[in-house]
Amino acid sequence: MKKSIGAKTILFPTPVLIVCSYDDKGVANAMNVAWGGIACSEPPCVTVSIREHRKTYENIMAQKAFTVNIPSEQYLKEADHFGIVSGKNEDKFKATGLTPVKSDLVNAPYIKEFPVALECALLETHKLGTHTQFIGKIVDVKVETSALNAKGFPDTEKMKAFMFDPGTSAYYATGKFLGQAYTIGKIK
Amino acid sequence: MKKSIGAKTILFPTPVLIVCSYDDKGVANAMNVAWGGIACSEPPCVTVSIREHRKTYENIMAQKAFTVNIPSEQYLKEADHFGIVSGKNEDKFKATGLTPVKSDLVNAPYIKEFPVALECALLETHKLGTHTQFIGKIVDVKVETSALNAKGFPDTEKMKAFMFDPGTSAYYATGKFLGQAYTIGKIK
């Protein structure tokens, strides 16, 4: 039996997206975003939703660019830190000891130590309410060579990404392989 | 060292969102969507991206409503089936044996057997390219009582949701609890 719990932002899993950007002085910032995901296949787009008072909001509006970085479990503490402190009050790269690297194709930094980085050019913005949705066109994906599989894609088990549960504000690891899509669902 | 793998829709995790809708005759349909996530806190919004030729696209445009359902591992096969076959060619509820239930607040069905359902009223549509993004205002969340924690939120371990890896088209289980957000990242 189902119980109604009201109009809430409940979903699982939500990703742990570390969004990086530069301000007008070239200072790198990083922010932890759970409100986002892939939004289109062609052009390849990713979306992240951010409140207006954030440093990242200002930066993306000014530079029209950002990166989306996927942390591995090893950097759980740093990833959470990016969601606690504002870039208006702290240099978060200095505080965490992580390294911003200038992207090749857009004016935004990615995180050297994380396994995956998406370089994004700002395509559209949609103000929805408390959050504005930024649609980024993915212009390149960079992956640590140690996290690639034989076909040249990120290997989920090597990447060791984790996820966020907004209902309980908790992080969870990636679990075991369950099956291949478009295959296990062939009924009849 | 990082290797560039080009402009691709790489992200992990992406969710397994079963989007349900009615057509003009009241026939229920269900579709498997990985391109989506929460988009705003207030009003609470969820976004799903869908191609124009889909039955679900027609249905949402007509009814201005849909539900987002989170399957548990037990229904992996059925969830994948919803992503293989088109609602234009098959009654997917009949094929899978799952049960559509009319929502209380919007004109869309939810899935009786799944642990979580979000009832959504269509707020905005954005055509991005191959995919159109539907922004749904979450008007209610319904949770199986057996999947609730003591505070009345979905319990991740009881829910047993799974996720999708677009790079390898594989499903993965939820792993172990890693830590509490806004707490473990307090550096200094």
Mean pLDDT of all residues in chain A? 97
What count of residues does chain A have? 188
What is the average pLDDT across A98-103? 98
- Give per-residue pLDDT as tens, B73-92: 999 999 999 999 999 999 99
B8 touches A: beta carbon within 8 Å: yes
CB contacts, 8 Å: A38 with chain B? 9, 11, 14, 34-35, 49, 166
Would you state the pLDDT for residue B165? 98
Tens-place pLDDT, residues A39-65: 999 999 999 999 999 999 999 999 999
Chain B residues within 8 A of A73 when measuring between CB atoms:
178
% of chain A beyond a pLDDT of 70: 99
A44 → chain B, closest CA residue: B9
In chain B, residues with a C-beta closer than 8 Å to the C-beta of A53 are none
Q: Do A130 and B42 touch (CB under 8 A)?
A: yes
What would the two tokens of residue B68 be? 């987002």
Amino acid identity of residue A17, one-letter, is L
Select from B178, B182, B186 the residue whose CB has the most chain A CBs within 10 Å, as the one to mutate to test that interface.
B178
Phi/psi class of residue A164: alpha, beta or left (left: φ > 0; alpha: ψ in -120 to 50)? Answer: beta
Q: Is pLDDT above 80 for B188?
A: no
State residue B94 phi and psi, 5-degree precision.
-60, -45
Q: Is A77–B187 a contact, with Cβ atoms under 8 angstroms apart?
A: yes
A35 contacts B40 by C-beta, under 8 angstroms: yes
Using DSSP's 3-state secondary structure scheme, residue A64 falls into coil
B179/A40 CB distance under 8 A: no
A43 touches chain B (CB under 8 A): yes
Tens of pLDDT, residues B26-63: 999 999 999 999 999 999 999 999 999 999 999 999 99
List, for residues A115-162, the tens digit of each pLDDT value: 999 999 999 999 999 999 999 999 999 999 999 999 999 999 999 999
Return the half-sphere exposure (C-beta side, CA atoms, 13 A cut-off) of residue A70. 30
pLDDT at B187: 72
**Confidence band of B129 (pLDDT split at 50, 70, 90):** very high
Q: Is the peptide bond before A15 cis (omega within 30 degrees of 0)?
A: no
The answer to whether B38 touches A11, Cβ cutoff 8 Å, is yes
The 10s digit of each residue's pLDDT in B130-184 is 999 999 999 999 999 999 999 999 999 999 999 999 999 999 999 999 999 999 9
| Shortest alpha-carbon distance between residue A93 and chain B (Å) | 12
Pick A46's closest partner by Cβ from B11, B153, B180: B11
CA–CA separation, B105 and B30 (whole Å):
18
Kindly state the DSSP code that residue B151 receives in the 8-state scheme.
Answer: T
Using CA coordinates, name the residue in chain A closest to B169: A181
**B76, two tokens:** 């992996």
pLDDT at A188: 57
Mean pLDDT of A158-174: 97
Across the interface, whether the CB atoms of B84 and A45 are under 8 A apart is answered: no
Are the C-beta atoms of A49 and A140 separated by less than 8 Å? no
Instruction: Using the Cα atoms of residue B106, residue B111, residue B117 and residue B122 in order, give the sign of their dihedral.
Output: negative
Query: How far lies A109's CA from each of A30, A95, B182, in Å?
Result: 9, 16, 24
pLDDT for the residue numbered A150: 94
Q: Which helix (H) or strand (E) holds B58?
A: helix B55-63
Residue window 61-120, chain A: list those with CB within 8 Å of chain B. Answer: 68, 70, 73, 76-84, 95-96, 104, 112, 116-118
Q: pTM above 0.90?
A: yes
**Residue B115 clears pLDDT 90, i.e. is over it:** yes
Which chain B residue has its CA at the smallest distance from A132's CA? B40
Task: Show Cβ contacts of residue B143 under 8 Å, excluding neighbours closer than 6 positions.
Answer: A2, A3, A5, A10, B115, B116, B117, B153, B154
> Which of A112, A138, A178 lies at the smallest CB-CB distance from B173?
A178
**Residue A181 at interface with chain B, using a CB cutoff of 8 Å:** yes
Which residues from B are below 8 Å from A77, CB to CB? 184-185, 187
Check pLDDT > 90 for residue A187.
no
* A80: closest CA of chain B, how far (Å): 5
Residues on chain B touching A188 (C-beta within 8 angstroms): 95
Q: Do A161 and B12 touch (CB under 8 A)?
A: yes
Q: What gap in Å lies between CA A174 and CA B162, rounded to an integer?
A: 9
| Contact flag B156-A170 (C-beta cutoff 8 Å) | yes
Residue of chain B whose Cα is closest to the Cα of A51: B40
Query: B12: helix, coil or strand?
Result: coil
User: How large a percentage of chain A has pLDDT more than 90?
Assistant: 99
